[in-house]
Amino acid sequence: MTSTARGAGRAIGLLVGVAADRLLGDPARWHPVAGFGSSAAAVQRLVYRDRRWAGVGHVGLLVGGTTLLGMVVEKCSATTPIRILATAAATFVVLGGRSLEREARTISAQLLAGDLAAAREQVTHLVGRDTSELDAAEITRATIESVAENTADAVVSPLLWGAVAGVPGLLAYRAANTLDAMIGHRSPRYLRFGWAAARLDDLANFVPARVSVVLIAVCAPVVAGPPRAAVAAARRDGPGHPSPNAGPVEAAFAGALGRTLGGVNVYRGQVEDRGTLGDGPPPDVADIARVARLSAAVSGMSAVVAAVVALVLGRRR
């Protein structure tokens, strides 16, 4: 198989996987990512030590094993149709765009119906912060910030890694991102053990987060937002966020929406000030539908970009 054919197969596979995600969303049961999470938790119980070196070994074993699996799958994909199918299946497994938007719209409907208890429970599917005391305005902000961050984490980043590294890139990225969500936070238990997971996720998302800012600016007119405002907010407010990657992305969404995001959140009893992102009034419930629309537009644009990158890299090889 020529390099051009591999690039074309990879590009088509990515687009087919994106289409499958748009049509089906995440499976309710037997999701491979959930299975990986359960396996990672089992391994953690065996290897946990309150040391960085233990976390490095934990991440190396799980991400390395997942990467090896992806390499075996690609090695066995000898023909273009099989390669397309393998890439499409891996893409479908690691993406979360459709489910992300579905969760946001469900929360919007619950808030509009005045069911605050249901909205507090539903938003836990998206965020790691304490939601038990959140009011409607705080739930709205939490939802919009999570949709913004996860548009990059669950759509743009995996697609770009798939374009550059195929099935191994898709699976390795999702493994690293899942481990970061599980142990990459600053609780007393994971401050040292989760250090490697957090740093690897920061590294894996650094370039995709900046690409996401560009895509958000390009798609800003979908929600009547000025592209310039998205870029300006990302450059001005992104660096003040605790996350080097979530900050620019959330700020770009805030600029595109013409709303102010950020503020104080509580994570596992720890208070964290994430600064102010964007300009304008605080978001209201109607802005959840707007952020879902912008997220869908960015997701579609990132699929096109990833396919083009796969084709270009295939020809160069």
What pLDDT sits at residue 132?
A: 82
d(CA 243, CA 249): 10
Non-local (6+) Cβ contacts of 312 within 8 A are: 7
Report which of 259, 296, 12 is spatially closest to residue 154, judged by C-alpha positions: 296
**What is the per-residue pLDDT for 299?**
97
Instruction: Say if CB 182 and CB 189 are below 8 A apart.
Output: no
* Per-residue confidence (pLDDT) for residue 163, from 0 to 100: 97
**Plot region of 243 (φ>0 → left; ψ -120 to 50 → alpha; else → beta):** beta
Q: In this structure, are residues 310 and 6 in contact, taking their beta carbons and an 8 Å threshold?
A: no
- Above pLDDT 70, what percent of the chain? 97
pLDDT value for 174: 97
Local confidence band at 271 (pLDDT 50, 70, 90 cut-offs): low
Tokens matching residue 177: 């991102």
The pLDDT value given to residue 269: 61
Provide the mean pLDDT of the chain.
Answer: 93
Instruction: Read off the pLDDT band of 317 (50, 70, 90).
Output: low
Q: For 13-32, how does the pLDDT look when each residue is reduced to its tens digit (9 = 90+)?
A: 999 999 999 998 887 778 89
Which pLDDT tens digit goes with each residue over 276-293?
Answer: 999 999 999 999 999 999
User: Which residues, other chains included, contact 95 with Cβ-Cβ below 8 Å and sequence gap of 6+?
Assistant: 17, 18, 21, 154, 155, 158, 159
Rounded distance between C-alpha atoms, residue 44 and residue 41, angstroms: 5
- In angstroms, the Cα distances linking 308 to 153, 180, 216, 305 are 20, 29, 18, 5
- Span 34-92, pLDDT tens digits: 999 999 999 999 999 999 999 999 999 999 999 999 999 998 877 888 999 999 999 99
**Cβ(223)–Cβ(257) under 8 Å?**
yes
CA distance 175 to 67: 9
pTM, to two decimals: 0.94
Contact, 195 vs 52, CB < 8 A? yes
| pLDDT for the residue 14 | 98
Alpha-carbon distances, residue 297 vs 132, 216, 293, 300 (angstroms) = 32, 8, 6, 5
Number of structural domains (the chain) is 1
Residue 224 is given by DSSP the state T
Q: Enter the DSSP assignment of 4.
A: H
Q: What pLDDT does residue 186 have? A: 82
**pLDDT in the model for residue 268:** 64
Give residue 226's domain range: 3-316
State how far Cα 72 lies from the chain centre.
Answer: 25
